[in-house]
Amino acid sequence: MVGTGGIFGGIVGGVVQYFSNQANKVVEQAFSEALFAFDVEMLTPPDYHHTGYAIPGSTTDADFNGIDWDPVQPALPTAAWTVAQGGSAVGWGQWEIALEGNRDETVTVTDLYATDIECSAPESGTYFPVLSQGIGEKIGLAIEIDDPGARIKELPTGEPNSFDPPDLDALPAFSDSATITLDRGEKEVITFQAHADEEYCEFALAIEYLAEGERQTSLIAPEVPGRFAVAPVLDYAEYESVMLAPWFCIDGQRHVVSGERAEEFFTGTPGAPSDCT
């Protein structure tokens, strides 16, 4: 478990090191790989039931003074802050992956799959639940990461998003109809989702492609923390603490409460705002 004491210590140095490493990685790949991911960014989790973030350890309101909050989700910190605390997505993680071609001949993507998967029992900590109404469209790719043998599936486009997550079993595998092709300097942005049902999982992505008549493979992972990570949703009472959105509280502010107290808020009869302090 990682405590939350000294949350802001070393963040500036870490940010400088991150951009330095990112620049070195991009330069190295630009001269070697026919296809490379020049940016991998964790996004706000999708608006399905019980998604959000979790960080290790119990927290209090004082731990969150002055941090950046997600501009769309009032009870979520930013993804960058979550990752810096050793946290992960909960339920469904969502990332944006930017690919670029690096050969004069067209590079054709043939497969994308999870690799180096390491799963373990989830740990309780502080849960930041997504509390919104599901907007936008389902786009991109998704995988059940803690399902052995699971393949990356294509999410349907043009369908309204909702609280209900997609039924991945009924969707086609990405490799069955992969159509991504990239010329030199051409870019493609992929939205990728991963769902954990029972175990906390870390992993990388392998992307296979044809370039200059040869089948090649590159690995994709976030620069920080170096792996994709997603945890399953626990019952509220199993978390050490849970962040409440402002509308739950009589003072109109965000507050952290115990998991047991959060269970009362989320499973009880809705009522007037309460004293969350």
pLDDT value at 198 more than 80: yes
**159 pLDDT tier (thresholds 50, 70, 90):** low
Summarize the chain as % helix, strand, coil (round to 5). 20, 35, 45
d(CA 160, CA 138): 7
d(CA 233, CA 191): 22
Residue 269: predicted pLDDT: 67
**65 pLDDT tier (thresholds 50, 70, 90):** confident
Find the mean pLDDT for residues 69-77: 88
Which residues contact residue 183 at a Cβ distance below 8 angstroms, ignoring those fewer than 6 apart?
Answer: 101, 104, 106, 107
Residue 210: predicted pLDDT: 92
Element (H or E) spanning 263, and its range?
Answer: helix 259-267
For residue 90, give the amino acid letter. Answer: V
Q: What is the mean pLDDT of the chain?
A: 83
**124 pLDDT tier (thresholds 50, 70, 90):** very high
Element (H or E) spanning 266, and its range?
Answer: helix 259-267
Phi–psi pair at 243, nearest 5 degrees: -85, 130
Residue 158: predicted pLDDT: 58
pLDDT value at 2 more than 60: no
Which residues contact residue 172 at a Cβ distance below 8 angstroms, ignoring those fewer than 6 apart?
Answer: 153, 154
- In three-state form (DSSP H/G/I as H, E/B as E, the rest C), the secondary structure along 9-60 is CCHHHHHHHHHHHHHHHHHHHHHHCCEEEEEEEECCCCCCCCCEEEEECCCC
pLDDT value at 42 more than 80: yes
d(CA 130, CA 79): 13
Q: Are 96 and 190 in contact (CB under 8 A)?
A: yes
Residue 23: predicted pLDDT: 41
Burial class (CB in 10 A: 0-12, 13-18, 19+), 228: buried
- Predicted model pTM: 0.82
Give the pLDDT confidence of 100-109 residue by residue, as tens digits: 998 888 999 9
- Single out the residue of 14, 12, 94 nearest to residue 53, CA to CA: 94
Which residues contact residue 235 at a Cβ distance below 8 angstroms, ignoring those fewer than 6 apart?
Answer: 259, 263
Give the pLDDT confidence of 208-246 residue by residue, as tens digits: 999 888 899 999 999 988 999 999 999 999 999 999 988
- Single out the residue of 64, 59, 56, 46 nearest to residue 87, CA to CA: 56
Give the pLDDT confidence of 256-276 residue by residue, as tens digits: 999 999 998 888 766 678 888
For residue 136, give the amino acid letter. Answer: G
Find the mean pLDDT for residues 113-131: 93
